């Protein structure tokens, strides 16, 4: 364990189930200190999870055109020296509860500090979010069109994995659970077992329904999950009364879909995988929109008058419970920003190498 004289870890930005993030990044083994990446402050994500998948996915994303405009990518992997005497390190539950053996196995991703999580950015200044909401939404849809055209599904979009910088530019982070639908044969191939965490609402409804219909969880655990999911879906349904019953729509899909009937998860993922991300983007921006309606005074702005029907249509399309009717990122972009060049059909491109 490193001595106090070598501590470089910064303030604790946040923590999840498997790790914590710090700014600036803590010192790496061997004494390397990452103050910045390309002149921008660096953040260190210390985790007990294997970072290999995220680094590999980051390298693939980096090959996409305009990648840095839409994604904040990890560039370094290392094992950090994280002395628990560091005041902020001691607040990280994952670090303080880890055994010495587990602590030695922790690894760190270093990525540019691309801003605040979108929910924090919006809460800090609702008027600023109101002025930038549509631009941020368009930018996120463009990034997802770019990513999906390259043949990938992010699979872990939520309010904590979208960062917004001081200029109002939004970027996706955390590609460790990404998958390529073309290569999926099993549930595990799509990294879905690792995403079934307490925030049930972020997982696309058909993924929950598949798991409940075809097993994969204990009966007791399954009942608890289903109750939590139904409660969350009921809240969404109450906020969007104009469309058909959400659960009835989902049940109709599961009872008629040919991939479900055949137990063919590979076909299921190839047909609907990109729409898992549609659900997540729609839900994230729905939450921001609702916050503005409640607290931000957006109804007094010209943006509200110009975009409210489009925003409502796009959010409704992205969060449709039946994936056969759910909107793709490209369709949503075409409605929200008519004439956007990225909403046009993709030009043929060489596949990105895995």
Q: Which domains does the chain have, with CATH numbers?
A: 4-112 (3.30.200), 116-343 (1.10.510.10)
**What is the model's pLDDT at position 223?**
52
Rounded to 5 degrees, what are φ and ψ at 185? -120, -35
Rounded to 5 degrees, what are φ and ψ at 349? -135, 155
Of the two residues 183 and 76, the one the predictor is more confident about is 183
Rounded to 5 degrees, what are φ and ψ at 28? -90, 160
Question: Chain-wide mean pLDDT for the chain?
Answer: 81
Residues 66 and 133: their CA atoms lie apart, in Å, by 21
3 has pLDDT over 50: no
Q: Please give the structure tokens belonging to residue 210.
A: 């598949």
Total number of residues shown for the chain = 354
Helix then strand count (H, E) for the chain reads 13, 9
Of the two residues 349 and 181, the one the predictor is more confident about is 181
Residue 251 binned pLDDT confidence (cut-offs 50, 70, 90): confident
User: Comparing 79-88, 105-114, 266-275, 329-338, which segment has the lowest mean pLDDT?
Assistant: 79-88
**What is the model's pLDDT at position 209?**
79
**What is the model's pLDDT at position 190?**
86
Query: Sheet holding 116-117: strands in order across?
Result: 116-117, 162-164, 170-172
Most confident of 76-85, 187-196, 320-329: 320-329
User: Comparing 78-87, 245-254, 308-317, 323-332, which segment has the lowest mean pLDDT?
Assistant: 78-87
Rounded to the nearest 10 degrees, the angle between the axes of helix 329-336 and helix 302-318 is 160
Q: 284-302 pLDDT, tens per residue?
A: 999 999 888 887 677 778 8
Residues 325 and 98: their CA atoms lie apart, in Å, by 45
Residue 47, CB-side half-sphere exposure with 13 Å CA sphere: 20
Of the two residues 178 and 211, the one the predictor is more confident about is 178
41 has pLDDT over 90: no
Average pLDDT over residues 119-145: 94
**What is the model's pLDDT at position 310?**
94
What secondary structure letter does DSSP report for 329? Answer: H
**What is the model's pLDDT at position 321?**
86
Q: Which residues of 17-36 are buried (b: 16+ CB within 10 A; e: fewer)?
A: eebbbbbbbbbbeeeeebee
β-pairing, 170-172 with 36-37? unpaired
Average pLDDT over residues 268-278: 95
Of 91, 114, 109, nearest in space to 49 by CA: 109
**What is the model's pLDDT at position 241?**
56
Residue 307 binned pLDDT confidence (cut-offs 50, 70, 90): very high
Sign of CA dihedral 210, 211, 212, 213: positive
196 has pLDDT over 80: no
Average pLDDT over residues 317-330: 92
**What is the model's pLDDT at position 84?**
67
Average pLDDT over residues 112-124: 90
**What is the model's pLDDT at position 134?**
95
């Amino acid at each position: 364990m490193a001595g106090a004289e070598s501590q470089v870890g910064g303030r604790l930005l946040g923590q999840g189930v498997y790790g914590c993030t710090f700014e600036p990044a803590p010192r790496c083994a061997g004494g390397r200190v990452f103050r910045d990446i390309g002149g921008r402050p660096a953040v260190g994500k210390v985790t007990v999870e294997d970072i290999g998948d995220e680094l590999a996915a980051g390298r693939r994303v980096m090959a996409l055109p305009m990648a840095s405009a839409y994604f904040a990518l990890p560039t370094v992997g290392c094992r950090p020296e994280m002395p628990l005497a560091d005041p902020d390190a001691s607040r990280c539950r994952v670090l303080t509860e880890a055994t010495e053996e587990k602590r030695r196995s922790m690894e760190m991703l270093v990525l540019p500090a691309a801003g605040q999580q979108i929910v924090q950015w919006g809460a800090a200044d609702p008027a600023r979010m109101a002025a930038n909401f549509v631009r941020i939404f368009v930018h996120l849809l463009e990034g997802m069109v770019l990513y999906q055209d390259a043949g990938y599904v992010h699979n872990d979009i939520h309010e904590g994995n979208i960062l917004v910088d001081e200029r109002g530019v939004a970027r996706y982070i955390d590609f460790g659970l990404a998958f390529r639908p073309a290569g999926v044969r099993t549930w595990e191939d799509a990294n879905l077992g690792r995403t079934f965490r307490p925030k049930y609402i972020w997982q696309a409804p058909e993924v929950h329904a598949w798991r409940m219909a075809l097993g994969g969880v204990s009966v007791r655990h399954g009942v608890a999950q289903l109750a939590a999911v139904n409660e969350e879906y009921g809240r969404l349904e109450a906020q969007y009364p104009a469309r058909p019953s959400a659960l009835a729509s989902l049940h109709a899909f599961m009872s008629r879909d040919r991939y479900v009937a055949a137990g063919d998860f590979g076909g299921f993922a190839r047909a609907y995988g990109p729409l898992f991300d549609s659900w997540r983007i729609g839900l994230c921006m729905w939450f921001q929109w609702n916050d503005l309606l409640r607290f931000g005074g957006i109804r007094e702005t010209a943006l509200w008058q110009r975009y409210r029907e489009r925003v409502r249509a796009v959010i409704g399309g992205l969060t449709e419970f039946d994936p056969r009717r759910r909107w793709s990122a490209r369709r949503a972009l075409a409605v929200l920003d008519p004439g956007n060049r990225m909403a046009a059909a993709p030009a043929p491109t060489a596949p990105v190498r895995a």
